[in-house]
Amino acid sequence: MQMVPSLPPASECAGEEKRVGTRTVFVGNHPVSETEAYIAQRFCDNRIVSSKYTLWNFLPKNLFEQFRRIANFYFLIIFLVQVTVDTPTSPVTSGLPLFFVITVTAIKQGYEDWLRHRADNEVNKSTVYIIENAKRVRKESEKIKVGDVVEVQADETFPCDLILLSSCTTDGTCYVTTASLDGESNCKTHYAVRDTVALCTAESIDTLRAAIECEQPQPDLYKFVGRINIYSNSLEAVARSLGPENLLLKGATLKNTKKIYGVAVYTGMETKMALNYQGKSQKRSAVEKSINAFLIVYLFILLTKAAVCTTLKYVWQSTPYNDEPWYNQKTQKERETLKVLKMFTDFLSFMVLFNFIIPVSMYVTVEMQKFLGSFFISWDKDFYDEEINEGALVNTSDLNEELGQLCLMVKLYSVDYVFTDKTGTLTENSMEFIECCIDGHKYKGVTQEVDGLSQTDGPLTYFDKADKNREELFLRALCLCHTVEIKTNDAVDGATESAELTYISSSPDEIALVKGAKKYGFTFLGNRNGHMRVENQRKEIEEYELLHTLNFDAVRRRMSVIVKTQEGDILLFCKGADSAVFPRVQNHEIELTKVHVERNAMDGYRTLCVAFKEIAPDDYERINRQLIEAKMALQDREEKMEKVFDDIETNMNLIGATAVEDKLQDQAAETIEALHAAGLKVWVLTGDKMETAKSTCYACRLFQTNTELLELTTKTIEESERKEDRLHELLIEYRKKLLHEFPKSTRSLKKAWTEHQEYGLIIDGSTLSLILNSSQDSSSNNYKSIFLQICMKCTAVLCCRMAPLQKAQIVRMVKNLKGSPITLSIGDGANDVSMILESHVGIGIKGKEGRQAARNSDYSVPKFKHLKKLLLAHGHLYYVRIAHLVQYFFYKNLCFILPQFLYQFFCGFSQQPLYDAAYLTMYNICFTSLPILAYSLLEQHINVDTLTSDPRLYMKISGNAMLQLSPFLYWTFLAAFEGTVFFFGTYFLFQTASLEENGKVYGNWTFGTIVFTVLVFTVTLKLALDTRFWTWINHFVIWGSLAFYVFFSFFWGGIIWPFLKQQRMYFVFAQMLSSVSTWLAIILLIFISLFPEILLIVLKNVRRRSARSNLSCRRASDSLSARPSVRPLLLRTFSDESNVL
C-alpha cells in the first residue's frame, strides 16, 4: 500500500497549495495494522469559522481593511494633515464625516460578523454523536476530528464531509437532500461501500479497520475521488473505490433514513461547503471606472488649485507689506519656520481647504444608492414566477464586499452583448416526449394517454410497425438507460407500486423518455437492491440487475447502462446525441434513422439515439475489470474512465431515436426582439445540435426570415479536403460580403441594423476550436480577427455544439474586443456557470436543472422573459440614476469649492475659508445629500412601462453615454459657471457701503453665508429641475432640505455656542435676511445660475420634438410591415431553409 502522507496543515487550514496529493484517513483513528505504525496526522478541526474578526482584532483589522480603500485612505490623509498642520478648517470638518462613515461601516460589519459568529457557534456547538471505543459519545460538533466515525440521525445535517459506511438498511443506501448547498431539493441516493454495509451498530463499526485515501479538499461539490482499504482479519486489504456517491457533504440533510455511520474525511474549513463559501471575484463596473476617472480629473483640479494658490501666495507675499503688514504680524514661530517647509504646509493647507471637492459623502451615497437600489429588483413583482414561487434575486448584494460587488447593479445598463443558453433559458426545459422512431418506423403516440396505464396489448396507432422484438427492446432501453429515480413518500417498501409514480432526475429529458416509454406500456418501477424493475406491456415485472452505469457527460454526450437480464444475458444500452452514437453503430443501420433524426431536429425537437449491444460473458469480465480499475484510480480517474467507456461503447446496434420537445419559453421571442431593438447583440450558445438550435433561433426570432445566414460548421467545411483552407476561404468570403454591405459604416452600425440586410452567423464547436486553435500559428491570429470581424457585423450569432468551456471562451473573446464591450450571460444549467462567471454580468435562471447557475450568477430571475424588464427598465433606470448621481456630486462640490478658491484671490491667499466650518461640514452630509439620494432611488425619467415597451430607448444610454467626456464637461462647466456667478455676484453686491436700510455693514461671514445660501438653493433647485418623477418623497426631501438649511442656519446663529472658540456665525444669517438687497441678490443669483439649465431644456425640447416626429414616422411604417406574430414554427423553418447559404 502506497502511503502518501499529506503534510499536516499549518495554522492556515485550507491553503490552496495544500490541495495536491492525497490524504489518508484512518477510520475511527484506529491503526490499520500492528505492522504499520499509526501516524497521527494533523488535520483541521471541525470548527467552521466564517467570521472575519474576533473581539480582540476587530478594531485594528477592521480599520486596516477600511483604510485600504483608496477613498477612505485619502480622507484619512486629509484628516491627518488637518490635525498636524495649521489648516484653515478644523479637523472636525473632515474628521467627523470620516468618523461617521468608518463607524457606520464598522458597526455594519461588526454586526454581520456577530451574526456569523452566532451562526458559527450554533453549528460548532451543536451536538453530534461519535463512536469511540464502541460507545456512542456525545460531543460538540467542533470536536470532530478527521477519522472519527460519526452517527447522524434522520433529518439532521451532516456536521462535516463524511464517507458513508453504513446506513442500517440492507443495501447501504441513504437519501440526502442538498437544498442548502445547491438548492436542489430532490432526494439523492448515496451508497455505502459494500464491505461496510453490515456494520450497523456502534460495536461492530468500531471493529472496522480501514484507511481511506482521498484527494485533498477541493471545492467542487460534485467531484470526489478516493479509495478505501479495508483490512479484515486476514490483513489482506480490500480496496474499494469511492466517488461522490459515497460522500455526504456537510450542510446536506439526511432524509428517509433512520441513521447512518460515516467517517469524517474533511472537517471544518476544509469541507466542500466551507471551500465554496468564499466569495466571488470582484467585478467592476464601467460606472466605477468613470467615477475613478472623474476622481482623477478632480484630484488634478484640486492639486492644480492648491499649487496655483501656493505659487500666487508667494508671489503676492514677495512685497513685504503684503507678507507681514503692521496690523497683522506673524508669531515668532512662524517667522522662524523654514520657507520650504512653510510652502509645503501651505500647499497642504490649500489642499485641505479645497478637499471638499471630493467628498466622503459621495462614496457613502453611491454605496447606499446601490445597496438600496438593488432591492427594487428583488421586489419587482413582475419577476415573480408562480410555478417556482420565487422572484428575482440579487446575489451580489448579499456579499459584503463593499463597492465592487454592488457596482454590478449599474452594469446592467450598458450591456452590448447578450449570451444566452438555449435549453432552459430560451426554452422551458419542460420536456415532452413527442415521438420515436424504431428501426426507421415512426411512432407517434396519440391515443395511449387517453386510455391510461391499463392499456396493454391494444393496437397503437403506429404509422408503420417495426418488428415486435425490436420495439420491445427499444422500450426496454428507454426504461433502463437513465438515472431516473422514483420519489417515495415514505421509506416503506412496496408503496411504490400502488401510488402514482413520481420520477426524479437531474435531467428532464430522461423523465420525458421514461414517461414516453410508459405511454407505450413499459413502466419503470424503480430500483431495488441494484435491480431495475420494469413493468412490460403484459403487466409482467421484469427485473434487470444494474451492473454499471456509464454516466452522461458533456464531452461524450451519451450515457450507457450495462444490465443483466433475468436470463443472464448481459446487455448494454446506450443513448446519446446522434453525433455521438452514429459513429459507434454499424453503418447500414444509420440511414433510416438519420432521416428521422434530422427532420425532428429541424422541427426543433431534441433527439436522442438509442443503441444496444449484447456483451458476451467473457467480454463482460474484461469490461468489468477495466471499469473497476478505472473507478479505483486516484489520479486521472476521469480520463481513464472516459477511455474505458470509449472502448465499451463501440460496435453497437442502433435501435431507434426519440424526439423530445422542449417548449419555447413564454415570450422568449418578444424578449429577443426587444433586445435586438435595444441595440444588443444576442448570441445563442448551446450544446444542442445545429438544426435544433437553428429552428429554435427562428422560433424565437433571433433569425428572421430575411436574415441571411452564414454558416461555419463542420457541414460546410467537411466537403473539402483541407479543412483549414476551406475555412479560410469561407471566412474571407463572408467578410467580403459583410464589408460590401456595410461600407465603412462603423459609426452608424446600430442604425445599419434596421436598414440593411441582416446577417446571422452559425458556428459550431469544432469549427470554433479550429479557428481558435488553428495549427497554422501565423495565420491563427488572422483567422481569429477575420472571425471577429464577421461576428461583429452580424446581428445574431448562433454557436451550437458548445462545450461549457467553449462558451466561456467565446465570452472572453468578445470581452476582449476593442472597446471592451460589456457582456451579459444568461443561462440556467451547470454548463452555463463558466460563461456566467466569465461575463461582466451573469444572470442565472432558476430553472429545472438545479440551482447551480442561479447560485453563481449576479442576478437570478425565474424566466428568460424577465431579462427584458431587467435590462430595459431596471438597467436603464439604474444607469440614469447612478450616472446622474455621480455627475451631480462632482458638480455640486465644484460649485461649492470654486467660490472658496476665488476668494483666495481676495484674501491674500491666506487659506481663509469662505464658509463657516459648520457649513463646510454639513453641506454634503445634510443639506444636499438626501435629495440626490431620493432622486437616485426613485427617478424615472421615463416610465417603466414606456421603457419596457420601447427598447430603442435603451440605445440612448448605451456605451456609458451619460458618463462620457462631454456630459462630464458640461456638468463641470455648469459648475464652474455657477461657482463664478455665486462668488462674483456677491462680490459686486458687497461693493456698496451697506446693504441694510440702517446703514450697518456686513463682514466676511455674511459674504460667505450669502454665497452658501445661493449655492444650496441653486444646487437643490437644479436637482429639482432634473427630477421628472416627483413622488411625495422627492417633495419631502427637496423642500425639506431647503427648510432644514434655513432652520439650521437660524439655529446655528441663534446661540452663543459655549464649545466654539469663535462665534463667527452669531446672528449672521438672521441679519442677512433682514436686508432686502440680499433677498433680491439671492433670488437673482439663483436664477442666473439656473438660466443655462432652463435654456438647455428648451433647446433640447426643440431637438427632441423633431427627433420624436422622425421616430413616430418610422414606427408608423414599422407597424404597417409588422410581421404576423404567430406563425407556425414548421412553416418558418422550412421556408427559411432556402435562405441558408
Partner 1 sequence: MIRRPSAEECPTSSAPRRRRLRWWRWRRRRRRRSSGSCQGQQADPFGGPPARRGAAPRGPMAMNYNAKDEVDGGPPCAPGGTAKTRRPDNTAFKQQRLPAWQPILTAGTVLPIFFIIGLIFIPIGIGIFVTSNNIREIEIDYTGTEPSSPCNKCLSPDVTPCICTINFTLEKSFEGNVFMYYGLSNFYQNHRRYVKSRDDSQLNGDSSALLNPSKECEPYRRNEDKPIAPCGAIANSMFNDTLELFLIGNDSYPMPIALKKKGIAWWTDKNVKFRNPPGGDNNLEERFKGTTKPVNWLKPVYMLDSDQDNNGFINEDFIVWMRTAALPTFRKLYRLIERKSDLHPTLPAGRYYLNITYNYPVHYFDGRKRMILSTISWMGGKNPFLGIAYIAVGSISFLLGVVLLLILFKGRKSTAELGKLLGRPSSSASIVNHM
Residues marked as catalytic: 421
Cβ nearer to partner 1, comparing 189 with 667: 667
Q: Using the rule CB under 8 A, which residue among 427, 696, 911, 972 binds partner 1?
A: 911
For strands 759-764 and 708-712, give the pairing: parallel
Q: In 3D, which of 823, 866, 947, 838 has the Cα closest to residue 416? A: 823
CB 335 within 8 A of CB 371: no
Stretch binding partner 1 (CB under 8 A), from 116-124, 212-220, 617-625, 905-913: 905-913
Q: Using the rule CB under 8 A, which residue among 201, 204, 378, 505 binds partner 1?
A: 378
The angle subtended at Cα 907 by Cα 901 and Cα 913, nearest 5°, is 55
* 1124 makes contact with partner 1 (CB under 8 A): no
Stretch binding partner 1 (CB under 8 A), from 628-636, 768-776, 884-892, 1055-1063: 1055-1063
176's CB contacts (< 8 A; 6+ apart) are 187, 188, 189, 190, 248, 249, 252, 253, 254, 255
CA 323 from centre of chain: 61
Q: Using the rule CB under 8 A, which residue among 11, 278, 498, 1101 binds partner 1?
A: 1101
* 191 makes contact with partner 1 (CB under 8 A): no
Q: Using the rule CB under 8 A, which residue among 469, 773, 1125, 1138 binds partner 1?
A: 1125
Of 313-372, binders to partner 1 (CB under 8 A) are 321-322, 325-332
Of 916-955, binders to partner 1 (CB under 8 A) are 938, 940, 943-946, 948-949
Cβ nearer to partner 1, comparing 208 with 953: 953
Stretch binding partner 1 (CB under 8 A), from 152-160, 252-260, 587-595, 908-916: 908-916
* 910 makes contact with partner 1 (CB under 8 A): yes
What would the grid cell of residue 575 be? 443513448
Q: Using the rule CB under 8 A, which residue among 83, 293, 541, 1076 binds partner 1?
A: 1076
Least spacing, CB of residue 863 vs partner 1, in Å: 12
Residue type, 561: V
Least spacing, CB of residue 83 vs partner 1, in Å: 16
Q: CA–CA separation, 791 vs 821, rounded Å?
A: 13
Of 529-548, binders to partner 1 (CB under 8 A) are none
Give the other-Cβ count within 10 Å of 747's Cβ.
8
Least spacing, CB of residue 613 vs partner 1, in Å: 37
Cβ nearer to partner 1, comparing 593 with 695: 695
Cα separation values, 752 from 128, 677, 1141, Å: 67, 12, 22
* 376 makes contact with partner 1 (CB under 8 A): yes
What would the grid cell of residue 300 be? 488634478
Cβ nearer to partner 1, comparing 389 with 1138: 389
Q: Using the rule CB under 8 A, which residue among 498, 1061, 1119, 1120 binds partner 1?
A: 1061
| Phi and psi torsions of 573, nearest 5° | -110, 135
Cβ nearer to partner 1, comparing 638 with 1137: 1137
Residue located via cell numbers 413582475: 382
CB 542 within 8 A of CB 525: no
Q: Using the rule CB under 8 A, which residue among 803, 1066, 1073, 1137 binds partner 1?
A: 1066
Cβ nearer to partner 1, comparing 469 with 991: 991
Q: Using the rule CB under 8 A, which residue among 167, 1071, 1089, 1133 binds partner 1?
A: 1071
Of 549-608, binders to partner 1 (CB under 8 A) are none
Q: What is the DSSP letter of 537?
A: T
Cβ nearer to partner 1, comparing 332 with 498: 332
Residue type, 1108: R
CA 670 from centre of chain: 24
What would the grid cell of residue 144 be? 470532530
Cβ nearer to partner 1, comparing 288 with 428: 428
Between 386 and 425, how does the x/- string for binding to partner 1 read (CB under 8 A)? ---xxx----------------------------------
Least spacing, CB of residue 1067 vs partner 1, in Å: 4
Q: CA–CA separation, 662 vs 689, rounded Å?
A: 13
Of 785-814, binders to partner 1 (CB under 8 A) are none
CB 403 within 8 A of CB 69: yes
Q: Using the rule CB under 8 A, which residue among 201, 579, 1004, 1139 binds partner 1?
A: 1004
Q: CA–CA separation, 614 vs 405, rounded Å?
A: 56
Residue 589 gets the label, from left (phi > 0), alpha (psi -120 to 50) or beta, of alpha
Cβ nearer to partner 1, comparing 658 with 1075: 1075
**What's the per-residue H, E or C state across 159-203?**
CCEEEEEECCCCCCEEEEECHHHHCCCCEEEEECCHHHCCCCCHH
Q: CA–CA separation, 32 vs 994, rounded Å?
A: 102
Least spacing, CB of residue 750 vs partner 1, in Å: 22
State which H helix or E strand residue 352 sits in: helix 339-354
Q: CA–CA separation, 299 vs 87, rounded Å?
A: 19
Least spacing, CB of residue 373 vs partner 1, in Å: 10
Cβ nearer to partner 1, comparing 340 with 1098: 1098
179's CB contacts (< 8 A; 6+ apart) are 185, 253
Strand order in the sheet with 149-153: 135-140, 127-132, 149-153, 259-266, 161-166, 247-248
What would the grid cell of residue 502 be? 413520481
* 1059 makes contact with partner 1 (CB under 8 A): no
Stretch binding partner 1 (CB under 8 A), from 280-288, 479-487, 533-541, 1107-1115: 1107-1115
| Phi and psi torsions of 242, nearest 5° | -125, 135
CB 184 within 8 A of CB 169: no
Of 431-490, binders to partner 1 (CB under 8 A) are none
Strand partners, 411: none
> What radius of gyration, in Å, describes the C-alpha atoms of the chain?
36
Size of interface with partner 1, in residues (CB under 8 A): 109
Q: Using the rule CB under 8 A, which residue among 168, 368, 1129, 1140 binds partner 1?
A: 1129
Cβ nearer to partner 1, comparing 529 with 1109: 1109
* 667 makes contact with partner 1 (CB under 8 A): yes
* 146 makes contact with partner 1 (CB under 8 A): no
Strand partners, 548: 562
Cβ nearer to partner 1, comparing 42 with 1108: 1108
* 185 makes contact with partner 1 (CB under 8 A): no
Of 706-735, binders to partner 1 (CB under 8 A) are none
CB 380 within 8 A of CB 869: yes
Between 485 and 524, how does the x/- string for binding to partner 1 read (CB under 8 A)? ----------------------------------------
Reported as half-sphere exposure (CB side, CA atoms, 13 A), residue 179 has a value of 10
Q: What is the DSSP letter of 422?
A: I
Cβ nearer to partner 1, comparing 389 with 498: 389
Between 74 and 93, how does the x/- string for binding to partner 1 read (CB under 8 A)? --------------x-----
Q: Using the rule CB under 8 A, which residue among 1084, 1092, 1134, 1140 binds partner 1?
A: 1084
Stretch binding partner 1 (CB under 8 A), from 363-371, 429-437, 745-753, 1099-1107: 1099-1107
Q: CA–CA separation, 316 vs 330, rounded Å?
A: 16
Q: What is the DSSP letter of 9?
A: P
Stretch binding partner 1 (CB under 8 A), from 155-163, 491-499, 846-854, 1086-1094: 1086-1094
| Phi and psi torsions of 297, nearest 5° | -60, -45
CB 94 within 8 A of CB 82: yes
Of 964-1003, binders to partner 1 (CB under 8 A) are 985, 987-1003
Strand partners, 187: 177
* Residue 833 burial (C-beta neighbours within 10 Å; 0-12, 13-18, 19+): buried
